[in-house]
């Protein structure tokens, strides 16, 4: 088991006051809060921070932690000294921030047993429906277009009979309904937390997000594709092949189309009662002037066309 240096995690000295601890927590919590932060390991950092604060904000736990001494280094193999908690009166003031979060083995070893952890899950005398559980799952665009069955793995903290928290993983096969949009939820009845006292289990609510697609972008029920076209296709008009999730289609490009023009294929977006649209965004690609013939064509355009794209700039 690795020793955790809670002071170091919070960037504090061992002599920090309770006010300083609170301020440091607030500041770091803002920085690493998973809703706000875009840092890669924000969630892990936030959990670590929550654990450190859980201990340091509580004078009893902090005193017990301090008693382990200052000579431990973070990550060092750690065994609590025998009777390290002797003489402390733990009121078990309840847990603050964690809200069912999972703390490290180190924390569990020190505070997870005996007097410290007040079990919230204790035998309740009444019947209660289990809590709804939440998870976010990532699917492919094609799953929504055709409907699919996906296997997902969920991990959730569970408390065993002795009050230890463990992360349990379970696997579920779920049906992805055709036409589901990013941000929508699927409700799976009875797959949430178990009820107590014979109450019904809660539901599992899955929030749908889409994996990035190499070709397409999704906006609500509409699908966008950037389509490279030649200058003459855009200028003269043309019929070109376009990939869609349903296969190739012929698309008519009207003459005098401009860079960034959007062409709409109605009803070829995500399926629904009123299906989304498929939008093609034209991207004009310039042929390289890397041969004499290509150069000659550009030179001809230069001579023949009276074209100044900078006219709106007044130059």
The piece of 11-19, 54-62, 202-210, 242-250 that touches other proteins (CB under 8 A) is 202-210
Look-up of token digits 């793995």 = 153
Closest CA to 55 of 120, 115, 111, 113: 111
Closest approach of other proteins to the CB of residue 172, in Å: 6
Range 72-110 burial, b when 16+ CB lie within 10 A, else e: eeeeeebeeeeeebeeeebeeeebeebeeebbeebbbeb
Closest approach of other proteins to the CB of residue 109, in Å: 25
Out of 185, 262, 264, 295, the residue judged to bind other proteins by CB under 8 A:
185
Q: Is 276 in the site for other proteins (CB under 8 A)?
A: no
- Report the distance separating Cα 10 and Cα 21, nearest Å: 8
Q: Please answer whether residues 135 and 206 qualify as being in contact, where contact means their C-beta atoms are separated by less than 8 angstroms.
A: yes
Instruction: Give the count of residues interacting with other proteins (CB under 8 A).
Output: 44
99 or 125: CB nearest other proteins? 99
For residues 106-135, which are near other proteins according to CB under 8 A?
129, 131-132, 134
Q: Is 226 in the site for other proteins (CB under 8 A)?
A: yes
The piece of 84-92, 156-164, 170-178, 230-238 that touches other proteins (CB under 8 A) is 170-178
Q: Is 91 in the site for other proteins (CB under 8 A)?
A: no
Rg (CA), the chain: 30
Q: Is 174 in the site for other proteins (CB under 8 A)?
A: yes
């Amino acid at each position: 088991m690795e020793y955790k240096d809670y002071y170091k995690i919070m960037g504090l000295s061992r002599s920090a006051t309770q006010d300083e601890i609170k301020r440091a927590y607030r500041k770091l919590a803002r920085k690493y809060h998973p809703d706000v932060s875009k840092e890669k390991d924000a969630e892990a950092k936030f959990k670590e921070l929550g654990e450190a604060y859980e201990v340091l904000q509580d004078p009893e736990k902090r005193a017990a932690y301090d008693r382990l001494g200052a000579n431990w280094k973070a990550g060092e193999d750690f065994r609590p000294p025998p009777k390290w908690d002797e003489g402390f009166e733990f009121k078990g003031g309840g847990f603050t921030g964690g809200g069912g979060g999972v703390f490290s083995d180190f924390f569990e070893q020190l505070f997870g047993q005996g007097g410290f952890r007040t079990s919230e899950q204790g035998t309740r005398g009444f019947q209660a429906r289990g809590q709804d559980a939440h998870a976010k799952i990532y699917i492919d665009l094609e799953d929504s277009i055709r409907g699919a069955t996906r296997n997902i793995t969920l991990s959730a903290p569970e408390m065993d009979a002795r009050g230890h928290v463990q992360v349990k993983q379970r696997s579920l096969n779920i049906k992805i309904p055709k036409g589901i949009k990013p941000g929508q939820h699927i409700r799976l009845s009875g797959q949430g937390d178990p009820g107590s006292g014979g109450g019904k289990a809660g539901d599992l609510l899955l929030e749908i997000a889409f994996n990035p697609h190499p070709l397409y972008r999704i906006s609500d029920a509409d699908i966008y594709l950037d389509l490279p076209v030649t200058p003459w296709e855009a200028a003269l008009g043309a019929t070109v092949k376009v990939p869609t999730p349903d296969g190739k289609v012929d698309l008519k490009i009207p003459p005098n189309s401009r860079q960034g023009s959007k062409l709409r294929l109605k009803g070829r977006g995500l399926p629904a009662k009123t299906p989304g649209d498929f939008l093609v965004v034209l991207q004009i690609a310039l042929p390289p002037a890397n041969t004499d013939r290509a150069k000659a064509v550009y030179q001809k355009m230069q001579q023949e066309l009276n074209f100044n794209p900078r006219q709106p700039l007044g130059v």
